[in-house]
């Protein structure tokens, strides 16, 4: 697929206007306050994985409405804490899978929490273990359209709340330095990491690649691929419901979260990405941190951020090259200090 979005020079300056709900902040404040009434951790049980250099626990924490959410927590074996932590969010339709699948961050010396996606996990990968007991509002079969017609019913209200609570959970685990927690994700996971950056005080870093839910209205005009295609298909049947759908989507718009973020951020995008068009990534990057410090100057000059674009890549982005860059960048942000072995 050739490049189909704006030319690179226009992307670099792309700062679209936002149709942001006047109660955006109140909506998320109230949602997260209700979730925070519950202590984050439910259970932490060791898991035998056959890996000699990594220790893993099956974690259950309380997410939206106190619902149980599963996660894998791993850390290097025979290392005393406290360690900086990476909270990782996975892609659309994927669950947390098996505990030995994602070892990059552990091998780099971090504690690692991999959050399951509620009500997902059946499209690819090795499954999930978290139900979504609230998925009863009108909507299609895919998560992107569950409860689409009302902000309080929408699937991503629940999933974003889970993502925020995952940070509270990892901060509650032993051997974690709660002042050095990074949010990481690609695609849907990137959208969740970006939301966390805008909602969680004291986050140390955000690493966001090809984020879903950024520049949603433009993405719906550009592509029928992936989750955006599910939304378009739903609206093709439920004609006349687009106003309600767009209102709901405005509460999960990644650019709005980006504006409110304070943590240093590392972005990546493929310029031929038809699943999460690059203009959405650039819109979030260019407006990232613009309200940091309360100045509201529209520039975000006080926030450290960088973006890597891959002209010939699609939704896979820079793949291993992007991860290599993330590893070096995060080590610089969090510091290379690691707890020494006993």
Where do the H-state alpha helices sit in the chain? Answer: 8-12, 24-35, 104-107, 155-172, 188-199, 216-222, 226-237, 242-250, 254-259, 278-287, 319-334
The residues, any chain, with a CB within 8 Å of residue 263's CB and separated by 6 or more, are 182, 183, 197, 203, 204, 205, 206, 303
What distance in Å separates the CA atoms of residue 325 and residue 314, rounded to the nearest whole number?
18
Catalytic (active site) residue 38: no
In the beta sheet, which residues pair with residue 59? 44, 71
Q: How many CA atoms lie within 13 A of 314 on its CB side?
A: 8
CB 228 within 8 A of CB 2: no
CA 267 to chain centre: 12
- The 8-class DSSP code of residue 151 comes to G
- Tell me whether residue 65 is exposed, middle or buried, using C-beta atoms within 10 angstroms of its C-beta: 0 to 12, 13 to 18, 19 or more: middle
Q: Point out the catalytic residue in the list 116, 134, 187, 262.
A: 187
Catalytic (active site) residue 315: yes
What distance in Å separates the CA atoms of residue 192 and residue 155, rounded to the nearest whole number?
12
Q: Point out the catalytic residue in the list 153, 162, 177, 273.
A: 273
Catalytic (active site) residue 78: no
What distance in Å separates the CA atoms of residue 276 and residue 132, rounded to the nearest whole number?
25
CB 144 within 8 A of CB 252: no
Concatenate the DSSP letters of all residues of 101-141 into one string: S--HHHHTT-EEEEEPPTT---SSTT------TTTTSS--S
- Residue 309's CB is within 10 A of a number of other CB atoms, namely 19
Write down the residue that tokens 């339709």 correspond to.
93
Cα torsion 322, 327, 329, 333: sign: positive
Q: Point out the catalytic residue in the list 112, 262, 266, 315.
A: 315
List the catalytic residues: 187, 273, 315
């Amino acid at each position: 697929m050739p490049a189909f979005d704006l030319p690179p020079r226009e992307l670099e300056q792309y700062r679209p206007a936002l149709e942001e709900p006047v109660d955006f902040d109140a909506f998320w404040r109230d949602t997260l306050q209700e979730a925070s009434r519950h202590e984050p951790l439910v259970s932490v049980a060791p898991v035998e994985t056959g890996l000699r250099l990594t220790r893993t626990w099956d974690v259950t924490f309380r997410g939206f409405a106190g619902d149980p959410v599963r996660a894998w927590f791993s850390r290097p074996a025979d290392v005393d804490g406290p360690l900086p932590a990476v909270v990782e969010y996975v892609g659309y339709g994927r669950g947390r899978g098996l505990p030995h699948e994602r070892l990059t961050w552990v091998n780099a010396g971090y504690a690692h929490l991999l959050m399951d996606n509620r009500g997902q996990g059946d499209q690819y990968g090795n499954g999930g273990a978290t139900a979504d007991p609230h998925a009863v509002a009108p909507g299609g079969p895919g998560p992107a359209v569950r409860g689409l017609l009302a902000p309080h019913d929408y699937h991503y209200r629940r999933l974003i709340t889970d993502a925020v609570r995952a940070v509270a959970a990892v901060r509650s685990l032993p051997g974690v330095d709660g002042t050095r927690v990074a949010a990481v994700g690609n695609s849907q996971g990137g959208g969740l990491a970006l939301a966390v950056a805008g909602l969680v005080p004291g986050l140390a870093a955000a690493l966001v690649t090809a984020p879903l839910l950024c520049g949603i209205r433009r993405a719906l005009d550009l592509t029928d691929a992936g989750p955006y295609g599910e939304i378009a298909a739903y609206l093709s049947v439920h004609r006349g419901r687009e106003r309600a759908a767009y209102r709901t989507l405005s509460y999960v718009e990644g650019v709005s979260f980006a504006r409110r973020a304070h943590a240093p951020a590392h972005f990546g995008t493929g310029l031929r990405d038809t699943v999460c068009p690059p203009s959405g990534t650039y819109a979030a990057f260019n407006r990232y941190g613009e309200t940091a410090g309360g100045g509201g100057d529209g520039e975000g000059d006080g926030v450290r951020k960088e973006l890597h674009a891959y002209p010939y890549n699609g939704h896979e982005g820079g793949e291993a090259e992007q991860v290599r860059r993330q590893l070096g960048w995060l080590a610089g942000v969090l510091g290379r200090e690691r707890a020494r072995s006993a």
